[in-house]
Amino acid sequence: MTDKLTIGVLAVQGGVTEHLRMLQSLGVEGVQVRRTEHLEGLDGIILPGGESTTMSRLLRLGGLLEPLRAAIQDGLPAFGTCAGLIILARTVLDTREDAVSLGVLDVTVRRNAFGRQVDSFETHLPFQGIDTPVDAVFIRAPQVEALGEGVDVLCTVAGKQGDTVVAVRQGHVLGTSFHPELTSDNRVHSYFVEMVRDQEQGGVG
């Protein structure tokens, strides 16, 4: 294993630059992934926020959907934020009939569960594995409504109906409902980088 990691950021739609900035702040090389050949040589991949139905359509049109699914199933560490979490999920509620997901994270998520754009908010949340609360920005965010076997809850947010799950991990796959990349706090990305290093060493953390 080399110390230098290369982590891709899916760049078919959505907020790419912010994730690249976070990777740079951690001394990790970030590259944009738009085509199948861009998956070659990656140590991990980030699926950014954006519009999940548009992202899924572009993944399918560009022929990237199945190669990306196969790469993650074969062990490529993946981290999805907001729409990225939706794309990773096995089951998606309140989405378009023609939308697709990768099905590599055994959770059920509901799109736009936190309301419209005007309902966006920022808060600080305890995150398992990180010593102090992380900065979290919620923008038309999904929520996790059901967990499959082997999925760990890393973070919840208090709501009117009780605690809502907003960050999960299943082996080498990580997902958050919120946008850590829209803050100056790079510790969730650092958590993912350590997941990638664990995978490089032959484990899943």
| Other C-beta atoms lying within 10 Å of the C-beta of residue 138 | 24
* The pLDDT value given to residue 201: 82
pTM of the model: 0.92
Mean pLDDT of 86-110: 91
Was 197 annotated as part of a binding site?
no
Residue 8: HSE in the Cβ half-sphere, 13 Å Cα cutoff: 24
| pLDDT tens sequence across 109-154 | 998 777 665 467 899 999 999 999 999 999 989 999 999 999 999 9
Was 50 annotated as part of a binding site?
yes
Cα(177)–Cα(79) distance, rounded to whole angstroms?
11
* The pLDDT value given to residue 14: 87
What's the CATH fold of domain 6-203? Rossmann fold (3.40.50)
* The pLDDT value given to residue 118: 45
Mean pLDDT of 40-45: 96
Was 84 annotated as part of a binding site?
no
Residues annotated as catalytic (active site), given as ranges:
82, 179, 181
